[in-house]
Amino acid sequence: MWIDRLSSAFAVLALVALVAVVALGIVALVRWRQSDGAAIDIFERIQPVALWLAWLVASAMTFGSLYYALGAEYFHFPRKYFPNTLGWYQCICVVPLSIVLLIAAVRKDAKIWQYTIVPVVVGGVFAAYNSQLQALTSQPADGKFSDPAAQRIVWKFGFVSLPLMAMIGFVLLGLLLFTAQTAAEDEQDHDEHDEQDEVVVDAV
């Protein structure tokens, strides 16, 4: 029952992430409309740690997907939890982020969104398609990868499936990368100094 318990834990984490998505979305919208207030304070608190939070989200998603791929029941057959094709494409979009975002967070490189936006969007699209496949089960079988992807392998609280967790994660990643990028815009002068420093270091 370890798998079931961990699935519940992942589902709870996904709901926490969903709350974070809504909260961060509201704060970002308020910041767009107003120039000061409580929302701005919260946003400015998040800005410096946004890349670390994004790395944390990507790592949790990577751990979750690798747990189902390798840890859960690797030597059992048939392997119910082993990722299907659509699941693997979502893995491809998120696993590299757990390394890339760590390097970006250490280097304070907010421009990393230019590279990570593509896997985040592609992964989000795959996850959205896969989520609706599992949510609306009355769709006709197409004899291709959609059929195994439509199986509700994890189904918590009446609506949380594995691709839904992935989709919430990708949306949160996108929002956090956006937050980090606005921090870079605010501190552009600072960034330019950093770049100059780097050139000097490289030349030495």
Q: Which residues bind another protein (CB under 8 A)?
A: 69, 75, 77-79, 82-83, 85, 88, 91-93, 95-96, 99-100, 103-104, 107, 112, 114-115, 118-119, 202-203
Closest CA to 134 of 169, 157, 162: 162
CA pair distance 169, 95, nearest whole angstrom: 12
Of 76 and 152, CB closest to another protein: 76
CA pair distance 31, 26, nearest whole angstrom: 9
101: its two tokens: 């975002």
CA pair distance 23, 17, nearest whole angstrom: 10
Of 136 and 203, CB closest to another protein: 203
Tokens 């926490």 -> residue:
16
Of 9 and 99, CB closest to another protein: 99
Q: Residue 110 CB, nearest distance to another protein (Å)?
A: 14
Q: Residue 35 CB, nearest distance to another protein (Å)?
A: 32
Q: Residue 58 CB, nearest distance to another protein (Å)?
A: 12
Of 93 and 133, CB closest to another protein: 93
**Contact predicate 189/38, CB 8 Å:** no
